[in-house]
A and B are shown apart, each in its own frame.
Chain A
Amino acid sequence: MPVTVSQRQGGGGGVQKQPSGGLAEVLDLILDKGLVIDIFVKVSLVGIELITIDARIVVASVDTYLKFAEATNRLDLHQKGGKDLGEFMGGMTENVTQGGAKGKTKGMLDAGKEKWDEIRGTDDENEKQSASKSRRG
């Protein structure tokens, strides 16, 4: 069964090694951890506006969004073929899982989209600003 599983995933088993994380991991480290300058420097501190709070919310949604998209893709494949899933399940009846995964994914997908739209609506300005600025550098 493990062979079938890794084929189905396309990437195979094994651990992905990355020198740096994606934006989600980066945010987790550099916004919440590390030495805080205010503790050490008082007089010459320059207070700079940080827009990272918004970034964090958007990133969380994007990550979720992408995962749902991926999950849906997979499910589309199964629905066409049906066989992959059966093999992968190793004994479980097909229609039970198909229905289950589909139902759950659809619900989460809707929720994810609502969240995303909500954020897009309020954060459009910030996003445009950062996009145009970062391009210059």
Chain B
Amino acid sequence: MKGGWKGRVLRVDLSNRSVNVLDISHYIPHYIGGKGFATKVAWDFLDGDVAEYDPENLLVFMTGPLTGTLAPTSGRGLICSVSPRVYPKPWYTRSNVGGFWAPELKYAGYDGLIVTGRSENPVYLFIRDGDVSLHDARDLWGTGTIATQRILKEIHGPKAQVLCIGPAGENRVRFSTIQHNLSNAAGQTGFGGVMGSKNLKAVVIRGSGGVEIADPPRFLDRCLYTEELVRNGPNIYHMVSPKMSSPDKMVCSAACPCNCEAFARKNFTAKFGPGRLTMLDHCMYPMHGWDRTEYKRQEAPEYRTEGVPPLGDCLDVQYCVEDLGLSIWDFYNFYPWFEVFVRNGIVSVGDLALDIEEPSFWFDFFHRIARREGVCDIFAEGVRRSADRLPDLGVSPEHFDELRKIAIFQQPGYGFPAHRDGRSAESQPSPLWMFSMLHWAFDTRDPMSSHHQTSFLEFIFPPHHGFMNPVADVSREKMNRTYERLLGMKDVLDEGFEPMEEKVRFAIWHQHRSCIKDSLLLCDWIFPRTFASYESQAGIDGADELSGDIDLEAKLFSPATGVEMDSEDLERCGERIYNLERALHIRNYGRNRRTDESIEWLFELPEKSDGTKLDKPLFDRIVDLYYDCRGWPGGRPSEDTLRRLGMNDVLRALYG
């Protein structure tokens, strides 16, 4: 072990307040790190009958071999556990979180942290290198995430990194977050509730060590080379981008050099917030009149007007949501759902008056959710579960059908919200939503967060072309030529379902790449770097194809760790990780073809932009082909597949 990894994971049992260090050097390098290590930890230590709020549930914080290094965008980390969000029955999944905590954990000397058990009283965990201690957190219980972080930094110094929960996590809201800094969070998976169930208010990390690099000069060269390629920002729709970003841009995570749309710091006058906020800026639009497909980039200048911008109120709502430790994304599910209530003349539910156009309503609503007050005790279960309890909400039966339909539509797969998947809220032309469908069918959560590279492709096609500026103008043919050159796959972006096998293999390639990226760990917006960056549209027009460098991950991995691997080797690791996750879900939750098919209905709806749709026979054909390509007869990794991937322990568990 020359560089990158620490080979050690810290294990804390809150029930008996014990701390020990787990040697995971045998995971290296087959499972890379991050998602790979976390899934292996779950494979080794998580039983299938462990429920989300059981003390036995594992809360795993994991880093990758590149975490804490200079590798561009390597500042992220992964949190894994049995997710309270998953519907109908919680299972194990992951959440990728940015910020500065993951490098700090590495500097403290660990690849990861596993928390189990349940403390009798609220505590917080303080890790200072080898010194690990639990501290009384009764005084912090009930405190918002921002104040909690301030207090803990006051105690442990400004360089300490804090992950914490707000009142929402304490009260086990199913969409509560583990919050870090202003806007970094394990958002979708409801892990805040898992932390709350363990009576763990916060994890405070301070590390004084570093990350060893096997070949510093070569690694430094590769990092500088990578930075040059990725500086323009997210792939594809930022193919053309000015070198310098506007002054209000900022980064979400350590080691990020990218000009990114996602995070901006705004100076504005706000009533509650610090007057500055980081955010997904386009996610503010709904408060301005809900229309997810039509919100326009042109509205952006409103941010920059003098005085109090009209968005100030909306930003305050976002600030309050983050302070309470809730996922902002559920706002976009509750809003359209409540719209249906209002449209049907239901102006109040229990003690809640539905003045949904008023920011003050949302303040009140989220505060009550976080504390599970009155009828919000039910809404704290999330849109999908609330829809099962319409009688308890006092809604009359004639509205049940529509309200259920819209709720399921908002959170269509495994209880997770849809996002850039076509159909539900936005259009995504053929064949792009076929890739979304394949990701949804085999993932353990909403796949978008790990597969931006397929979702982003939509920005080059109508109707989304030009939705984000500046955006490249690229023909389908040129994109096809690029993929043919990079992957040897022909016509993958042609409309319709053919060539079907190429398209299935294209989705699989992205799934493996997603595992690599989630394991190293790198940013999903930036990797894999399938397309090159251009200074201007003329550069794109003059190029025959637009290949970027898909070997970047390997180029960074090898000199950092001293383990020489090329892209093909890494993809094999990615495949191993994908198969391990599948095997875990088969062993623990009986995952099978029926589970995979549970998302099919969504893709039977006609696609918004071009009317294409799936029917059952076609869906079955695609799934059959997918299983064939993967070596998963009947949805189960075959003995040959597991043997080929060197997963003998899994082989024994699945086949005896």
Mutual binders A and B: no
Interface residues of A (CB under 8 A from B): none
Which chain B residues have a beta carbon within 8 Å of chain A's beta carbons?
none
